[in-house]
Amino acid sequence: MKIIQSSKLRSFITGAILVAGLSFTTHAAAQERSFLVDLNSKVVTEIEGANGINDASQVVGASPFAGNYSHAFITGPHGAGMRDLGTLGGNSSTAIGINNGGQVTGWSESASGDVRGFITGPDGAGMRDLADLGGGSGGATGINNAGQVVGWGSTSARAQHAFITGSNGEGIKDLGTLGGSYSQAYGINNAGQAVGVSPLPGGHEHPFITDPGGGGMRDLGTLGDDYGFARGINDVGQVVGESLTSGGALHAFITGANGMDMRDLGTLGGNYSRAYGINDAGQVVGESSLSGEHARAFITGPDGSNIMDLNAMVSLPQGVFLTLALDINNAGQVLAMGVVPEPEIYALFLAGLGLMGFMVRRKKMSAFSLEQRPLL
């Protein structure tokens, strides 16, 4: 883990947009990294494999382990002191979410090789296997402060359904679908409202929200065309994700309280955007294209106002830029992905940067990332 002091971090009022996606023609000699961006202290910290953050600035994710495997990890405050969480008996594990008590959730291989969801105790202690929906496999994606976990798993009929657990990961409830063949849950708030995606009877994927406790799955609708995907929810019930507009463009959205009144967040000037996370003030983070293949991470002001480029708020070494933002907490800290030059090129930059001493390590994306579905 290395820290970069950012002397040119601008006021959050002017905002920043994290743009996702690489320009492979312009940045062919680049590698991907993950960073903790603190908009208050003006510090950027590289944390390999980061996926989620809580209000105490503890970070979770997956880090390379012996034999080309990965293990889930948790850090202390401000991303310091990475600790291996182990596995459920198999070779690999990945941590996806963390609550303010330090309970962690994600997925792990079991001793038999199945993919299983897990929960830990406070501060990442004691990884425990979650129940499944009858099909023997699953994975977890979100957790609230009561320890209610959401994710998806295979049913006894071999369908893939979203689930929610009770407090501390006890018990499990099938959330059903919007009428189609499957569902997946990606986020949960402290009221126990879950959000995710499920196809309608006709096969078109739509975002959903549930009532507290996982009851009453409801279609959130779209921005005009017949596709949408919900990824995050705050304690007010504001939901974020992406949807096709009536013109066929993919745009990030935010809703009002309780998932009502979906609103287009726009882009940074390009043709697409996606939203990944939201805090209780309604600040949204995600990715957006600038033009053509170029993309950057974004952040908004409160209530999804004023989409902005996060790179404009941070001073980074030459050739390094932030491409997407995965998560944001209530303390103004953002988890972001970025690209850096290949090590040989990067070493030349470091020679000119002197005391900055910014050293990078390769980030390996989780096999259970936000853009992947497990083979259940």
pLDDT single digits (tens) 351-368: 433 333 222 222 223 333
- Tokens standing for residue 142: 């979100």
Nearest in space to 122 (alpha carbons), one of 105, 101, 107, 140 = 101
Give the CA angle between residues 364, 370, 374 to the nearest 5°: 85
Average pLDDT over residues 315-329: 88
248/3: higher pLDDT = 248
Structural domains present in the chain: 2-356 (2.120.10.30)
Question: 């259940």: which residue's tokens?
Answer: 376
Span 211-232, pLDDT tens digits: 999 999 999 999 999 999 999 9
Span 54-110, pLDDT tens digits: 999 999 999 999 878 999 999 999 999 999 999 999 999 999 999 999 999 999 999
**Cα 111 vs. chain centroid, distance in angstroms?**
27
Neighbours of 328 (CB within 10 A): 28
Instruction: Give the Å distances, CA to CA, from 215 to 135, 169, 177.
Output: 22, 17, 11
Q: Decide if pLDDT at 31 tops 50.
A: yes
Least confident of 2-11, 149-158, 254-263, 339-348: 2-11
Q: Decide if pLDDT at 307 tops 50.
A: yes
Q: Decide if pLDDT at 235 tops 60.
A: yes
Span 240-282, pLDDT tens digits: 999 999 999 999 999 999 999 999 999 999 999 999 999 999 9
Q: What is the pTM of this model?
A: 0.84
